Amino acid sequence: MSYIKNIIVIAVALLFAVFASVDFLAMRKAEPIADNPNVTEIRMLSEYCSGLKGTNLDTEVYVLDSGVPGGAMLILGGTHPNETASPVAAIAMAENFKCTKGRLFIIPWTNKSGFTHTSPLDGMQDFFDITLDDGSVRTFRVGNRLTNPVDQWPDYTYYMGSSGRQLVGTEIAEIRNVDRLYYGNENGVLTEMVCAGVFNLINREGINLTMDMHEGSPEFLYLDCTMVNMKADNQTAMSIAQSMALDMQFDDLDMRAEYSGVKSYGLSHRSLGDNTASMMTLMETYNPSMGPLHGKMDDDLIVNGNEPNYYQAHLDGYIYFDVPENGYPLVQRVARHVVCVTYLARAYSETYPDKAIAFEGLGGYSDMINAGLGKILKPVE
């Protein structure tokens, strides 16, 4: 009799597990990106690193070729999927941009596997919704900053990346972090192959300028800041970044530029900057859902970026970042990324007119804020 009772309990539990699994597996389906007639080609990153073919880490590369000679720019979104403004900004650019000079490469989901799981026990949710102006709803995944262990497992006990970064002890999980394994290894772990794909793309396509879009928790000291790799013989890179920062300041947007840390091995701005000809930059915006002080995790926190705990912590002098009282909505963070990319390309083009890169389609910061994500993002099937 007790045996039948046990079976019933397990059957009920399995029923719950089935529903949970369906929800969990839904994260493996990428959110659609609306068609943009100005996208000239959609490639897969496996074209640049064959080991990715057929894996959950192979990812789309949107190519916008103006047909006008100039430079080439690469925009990385979703290196860390839970840094929500990054993939959403990349998707917004892929759906709206028209390249008018040179070529533009956009990767919306750089770590595609990271979008297929959440952070267990971290109070994260899996999806959030944005209602468009036409009433339709687009759903986006929150994801995790690391590759899904289903795709890459086990984490080694010791790892030496191509950059010389050693992973040991508690840092070993970073072996599934794209932004610790640059400049990659075509024969390494899958996450490292993504890095190798980006590295090869930069080299083969002659990318002149790269932006890796990120967000950080409120405790992070480099928010609203662009990291720049200044190659030993080229102080011009920082001047280009400062020109972008000055333009953003004139839009009343706080922005500063900082040098890439000398020992930031494996990070895109450091290791791709050191090992490719591209000018490497990485920008961070504030994301309260990423910090340990966040309260209730819901669409409101992710989309409206309003976390009173952090505002209070800032008032009390514990958070350096100037936390806005009414939150830092996703649309502002997305617009900030788009503006940063735009001004950076402009400053680069002014410095190197023969490698100019120009694009349009989303207007300026205030245009995007006025439009809102409901208009910036396009309806999809």
Question: 264 near 258, Cβ under 8 Å?
Answer: no
Q: Which stretch binds another protein (CB under 8 A): 177-185, 197-205, 250-258, 364-372?
A: 250-258
Compute the distance between CA of residue 65 and CA of residue 99 in angstroms, rounded to an integer.
Answer: 6
Contact flag: residue 281 with another protein (CB under 8 A): no
Q: Which of 165, 269, 294, 346 binds another protein (CB under 8 A)?
A: 294
Question: 181 near 195, Cβ under 8 Å?
Answer: yes
Compute the distance between CA of residue 275 and CA of residue 279 in angstroms, rounded to an integer.
Answer: 11
Residue number, 246 or 380, with CB nearest to another protein: 246
Q: CB within 8 A of 302, min separation 6: which ones?
A: 84, 125, 128, 142, 289, 330
Contact flag: residue 293 with another protein (CB under 8 A): yes
Q: Which stretch binds another protein (CB under 8 A): 34-42, 77-85, 305-313, 361-369?
A: 305-313
Question: 131 near 137, Cβ under 8 Å?
Answer: yes
Contact flag: residue 15 with another protein (CB under 8 A): no
State in angstroms the smallest separation of the CB of 292 from another protein. Answer: 6
Q: Which of 93, 209, 313, 344 binds another protein (CB under 8 A)?
A: 313
Range list of β-strands (E), the chain? 41-44, 60-65, 72-76, 98-101, 103-107, 127-131, 137-141, 158-160, 166-168, 209-216, 225-228, 256-259, 279-286, 358-360
Q: CB within 8 A of 39, min separation 6: which ones?
A: 62, 63, 64, 94
Q: Which of 74, 198, 241, 368 binds another protein (CB under 8 A)?
A: 241
Contact flags string 208-227 toward another protein, x per CB under 8 A: -------------xx-----
Contact flag: residue 126 with another protein (CB under 8 A): yes
Applying CB under 8 A, the residues found at the interface with another protein are 3, 6-7, 10, 13-14, 16-17, 20-21, 23-24, 117-118, 120-126, 221-222, 230, 232, 235, 238-239, 241-243, 245-246, 249-250, 256-263, 292-299, 308-309, 312-313, 315-318, 320
